[in-house]
Every structure is written in C-alpha cells, then in structure tokens.
C-alpha cells in the first residue's frame, strides 16, 4: 500500500518536474515574465486587457528586431487566476524556476502587495503595470519593484482637486458647502483611493457627509444607496470594480438617487464603452473618471517625436489582434508601461551596464529620466530612489480626469491637457440629475 503510494508520489513529482525542466536559456533571447489575472474575478475588470496590451508591446518590439535590436523578447506567461495564493506561487515559479529577470504585470493591488517583497527576496525586477495602491511601494523601500503609473492617492486627489477648481459650477462659493460622499470597494485599491479622497476633502475644507466601503463581490448595494439618499451629497466619489459599479448605477437610478456629480476612479469606471454596453449609455452620461489618458485620447502632437506613431501602431495592432478599436485604459496601460520597459529601460541597461541582469536593469531604471510627453503614455518617467518613501514609484506620472458626454470622452482636468470644460452639475437628462 505504502509502496504504491510512494510510486504515485514520485511519478507525480517527476511529472511536475518535467514541466519545469524545459526552461533552457538560449542566446539572444530575453525572457519576460508576464503575470496577469487572465481568469477569475479580476480578469474582466482589466486583468485580461492589461495582458493584451502588454502582448502588443512585445510584438512591436520584436517586429523592430528585439531589445536594442539584439534580444528577442520571449514572454513567459502565467495566469494569476485572480487568487493571491496562486499568484504567489506563479510569481515564485517565474522568478526561480523560469528564472526570468523581470516579472511584469498583475492587475490587482492585493496581488502586487505580497509579490513585491518576493521580488526583493529573489532579487528580480517586479515591474508593476496596473495595480495602483500606494501600499505596493509606500514605506517599503523596495529595491527591485518599479511602477510607472500614478499611485492610488494621485487618483483620489485629482477628482477632489478638479471639483475644488470648479466650485462655481455647483453654484456655491466656499468649499465647505460642498457635500461629499466617498464610497469604495474595501480592497487596497479602493481604500488607497478613498484615503486620498478624504485627505483632499479635508484639506480643501469640504464637507464629508458619508463614507462607506463594501466588498466588490456584493450582489446588493441598495442599503448603501439608501444611506446616500439621506446624506444628500453633491458629489459622489466612487471607487469600484466593474459589476459593483454597474450594480450601483442601476440600483441608484431605480431608487431615485439624485446628486450633482459622480466621479469614478479607474478600474470599473475605466471602461466607459463596456459600462454603457452592459448597463445602458444614459447611466454613464456625464460621469467622471480618473485614469492615465487612454491612447486614443492623447493629443499625439504634444508627444515627443516618434511616440505618436507608436500610439498609432498600438491602436492599429490592438484592433487587428483583439477586434476592438476602442481599447480600454487597462490595455493602454499594459502597452505603455511594457513599452517603457522594453524600449527605454532595457536598452539603457544593455548599453550602460552591459547585460540584462536584474541588477543592471535596476540601475538603468534608476538612471532613466524622461520628460513629460516622452512616452506613449503622455507622462514622463523618473523613479523614486530607494531612500524615498515611495521608492520605485514613477514620480512623473499623473492621471487625468475624463468626462463621458454622450458616449464621447473628453479630458476635463488638469487644465493643461483639458479638451473640454467639465459639465457640472448633472444636467436634467441624466437619471441622477436634480430636475
């Protein structure tokens, strides 16, 4: 009995082992660990889109002859399955068994948070693509984790700042008259953004009338909406994933929630066309959303030479590959942030430090300085050094506040990039508008 069992165990061990044994390094290839939640709850929220954007960047670099024209990028793809436990295992496998110098990706901050210390332990680069929670980098003094996009608090700050700059549109003079409600999903992402919301609200002296968190898996938000109705906010700051956002919009309409402005903060709100498709376009109308500017919205003339073409090529390739001419912002982020790694950081490492080892990449990343407009994302790149409280965070990135009007997105904030004046308060044709 024991013998048979032993045989089974050994056989299984061999099976598992053989899968990992195939990884053999070859000349002039660069193995890139790609880890996204391609299945599970986070996949539709943006995990899959991020992966797709990344793959377009890889294709484009390879079409240009590889990194610095020398190294072909070979992606080693793993699925985090929206499960922190699985992602830890996959992260470890990529870093140790596949021995990739760089693991990029992850959608959820909940997965990025435990992965970052692991990268530190194995001295491999963890290139964060989408997860925005401050907690991924804040006060951790990480050496090997880098993040190009803005932090959750920047998300949270930008909407409040925008509203503060547009007080007159509410018909009031002092910030203290604005009634603000903050609602958010209770993960690191939601709580990061909400914390920044509240901080800014306090800073401007606005009136915080309500705040409440909920689980993004919830199937009913009516109690939250009842509470909102009695709090009577002028501004609702919402941070959520996708189904909860749709649920909110639908239930709020049916329960007669009225307010002057609704602003979302990425993730669920990021994908306005999909939201409109799933819930009905008029619900999303006049809704604000914070995110890095989506590629299709960027004013390509303002970008550094060449970058405009890159964005164009991305849009073309994305449409060819995934039959979608309006890529969600997560795809844009996946593309842009991968592009910066493959097109800027890695060639510099090769040129300056002679190889593509994690340590060379790390040094190159810390060296790099790209001014605003120098990347396909619009913003520049300068990573915070290890002694900085946000070590590894790109200090030059910022999100923009966009507003959807009649299915068209326009940039409402910051002023420098503004493409249209924000529409405040919600007009009467919005289901939430006060008639």
Residues 58-97 that bind another protein (CB under 8 A): 77-79, 81, 83-86, 88-90, 92-93, 95-97
Return d(Cα 14, Cα 17) in angstroms, integer.
Answer: 5
Mark residue 370 as left, alpha or beta (left: phi above 0; alpha: psi -120 to 50; beta: remaining). beta
Taking CB under 8 A as the rule, does residue 277 contact another protein? yes
> Considering only residues 123, 141, 169, 227, which one is a binding residue for another protein as defined by CB under 8 A?
227
> Considering only residues 144, 155, 204, 242, which one is a binding residue for another protein as defined by CB under 8 A?
242
- The helix (run of H) or strand (run of E) holding residue 128 is strand 125-128
- Minimum distance, C-beta of residue 104 to another protein, in the bound complex (Å): 14
Which strands, in side-by-side order, build the sheet including 145-147? 72-79, 29-36, 102-105, 125-128, 145-147
Which C-beta is closer to another protein: that of 83 or that of 430?
A: 83
Which residues touch 424 (CB under 8 Å, ≥6 apart)? 163, 166, 169, 170, 260, 261
Which C-beta is closer to another protein: that of 139 or that of 299?
A: 139
Which C-beta is closer to another protein: that of 22 or that of 26?
A: 22
The piece of 66-74, 243-251, 292-300, 347-355 that touches another protein (CB under 8 A) is 243-251
- Minimum distance, C-beta of residue 225 to another protein, in the bound complex (Å): 9
- Minimum distance, C-beta of residue 230 to another protein, in the bound complex (Å): 6
Contacting another protein within 96-115 (CB under 8 A): 96-97, 108-110, 113-114
Query: Tokens 């009649």 correspond to what residue?
Result: 406
Which residues touch 77 (CB under 8 Å, ≥6 apart)? 34, 35, 51
Pairing of strands 235-239, 261-264: parallel
- Minimum distance, C-beta of residue 416 to another protein, in the bound complex (Å): 34
- Minimum distance, C-beta of residue 144 to another protein, in the bound complex (Å): 14
Give, rounded to a whole angstrom, the gap between the first and last alpha carbons of the chain.
Answer: 78
Taking CB under 8 A as the rule, does residue 210 contact another protein? no
- Minimum distance, C-beta of residue 404 to another protein, in the bound complex (Å): 15
Taking CB under 8 A as the rule, does residue 186 contact another protein? yes
Give SS3 for 280.
coil
The piece of 169-177, 279-287, 391-399, 403-411 that touches another protein (CB under 8 A) is 279-287
Which C-beta is closer to another protein: that of 115 or that of 370?
A: 115
The piece of 13-21, 162-170, 399-407, 411-419 that touches another protein (CB under 8 A) is 13-21
Q: Are 134 and 152 in contact (CB under 8 A)?
A: yes
Cα 265–Cα 398–Cα 168 angle in degrees, nearest 5: 65
Which residues touch 75 (CB under 8 Å, ≥6 apart)? 31, 32, 33, 34, 54, 55, 58
Return d(Cα 403, Cα 287) in angstroms, integer.
Answer: 6
Contacting another protein within 14-43 (CB under 8 A): 15-17, 19-20, 38-41, 43
> Considering only residues 65, 171, 205, 256, which one is a binding residue for another protein as defined by CB under 8 A?
256
Which C-beta is closer to another protein: that of 240 or that of 378?
A: 240
Which C-beta is closer to another protein: that of 98 or that of 372?
A: 98
* Residue 311 burial class via C-beta count within 10 angstroms: exposed 0-12, middle 13-18, buried 19 and up: buried
Return d(Cα 417, Cα 293) in angstroms, integer.
Answer: 10
Mark residue 135 as left, alpha or beta (left: phi above 0; alpha: psi -120 to 50; beta: remaining). alpha
Per-position DSSP letters for 394-433, written without gaps between them? BTT---EEEEEETTEEEEEESGGG-SS----S--TTSTTS
- Minimum distance, C-beta of residue 217 to another protein, in the bound complex (Å): 6
C-alpha separations of 41 from 34, 46, 103, 128 in Å: 18, 10, 21, 19
Which C-beta is closer to another protein: that of 279 or that of 342?
A: 279
> Considering only residues 74, 167, 172, 276, which one is a binding residue for another protein as defined by CB under 8 A?
276
The piece of 62-70, 167-175, 251-259, 414-422 that touches another protein (CB under 8 A) is 251-259
- Minimum distance, C-beta of residue 81 to another protein, in the bound complex (Å): 7
Taking CB under 8 A as the rule, does residue 251 contact another protein? yes
């Amino acid at each position: 009995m024991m013998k048979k069992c032993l045989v089974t165990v050994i056989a299984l061990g061999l099976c598992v082992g053989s899968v990992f044994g195939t990884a053999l390094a070859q000349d002039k290839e660069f193995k890139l660990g790609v880890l996204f939640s391609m299945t599970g709850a986070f996949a539709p929220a943006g995990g899959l889109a991020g992966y797709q954007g990344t793959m377009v960047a890889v294709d484009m670099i390879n079409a240009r002859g590889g990194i610095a024209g020398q190294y072909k990028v070979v992606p080693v793809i793993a699925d985090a399955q929206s499960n922190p436990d699985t992602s830890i295992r996959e992260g470890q496998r990529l870093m140790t068994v596949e021995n990739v110098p760089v693991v990029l990706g992850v959608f959820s901050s909940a997965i990025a948070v435990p992965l970052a210390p692991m990268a530190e332990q194995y001295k491999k680069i963890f290139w964060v693509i989408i997860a925005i929670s401050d907690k991924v980098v804040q006060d951790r003094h990480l050496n090997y984790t880098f993040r190009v996009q803005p932090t959750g608090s920047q998300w949270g700050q930008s909407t409040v700042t925008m509203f503060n700059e547009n007080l007159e549109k509410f018909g009031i003079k002092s910030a203290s008259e604005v009634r603000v409600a903050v609602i958010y999903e209770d993960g690191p992402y939601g709580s990061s953004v909400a914390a920044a919301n509240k901080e800014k609200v306090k800073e401007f002296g606005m009136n915080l009338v309500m705040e409440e968190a909920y689980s993004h898996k919830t199937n009913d938000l009516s109690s939250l909406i009842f509470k909102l109705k009695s709090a009577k906010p002028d501004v609702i700051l919402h941070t959520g994933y996708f189904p909860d956002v749709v649920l909110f919009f639908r239930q709020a309409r049916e329960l007669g929630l009225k307010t002057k402005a609704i602003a979302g903060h990425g993730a669920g709100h990021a994908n306005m066309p999909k939201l409109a498709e799933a819930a009905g376009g008029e619900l999303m109308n006049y809704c604000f959303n914070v995110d890095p500017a989506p590629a299709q919205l960027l004013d390509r003339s303002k970008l550094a030479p060449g970058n405009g073409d890159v964005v164009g090529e991305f849009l073309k390739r994305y449409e060819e590959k995934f039959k979608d001419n309006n890529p969600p912002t997560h795809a844009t982020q996946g593309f842009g942030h991968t592009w910066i790694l493959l097109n800027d950081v890695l060639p510099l490492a090769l040129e300056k430090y002679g190889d593509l080892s994690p340590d060379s990449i790390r040094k190159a990343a810390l060296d790099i300085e790209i001014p605003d407009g120098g990347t396909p994302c619009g913003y520049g790149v300068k990573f915070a050094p290890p002694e900085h409280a946000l070590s590894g965070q790109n200090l030059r990135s910022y999100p923009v506040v966009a507003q959807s009007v009649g299915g068209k997105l326009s940039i409402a904030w910051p002023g420098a990039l503004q493409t249209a004046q924000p529409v405040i308060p919600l007009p009467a044709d919005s289901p939430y508008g006060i008639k």
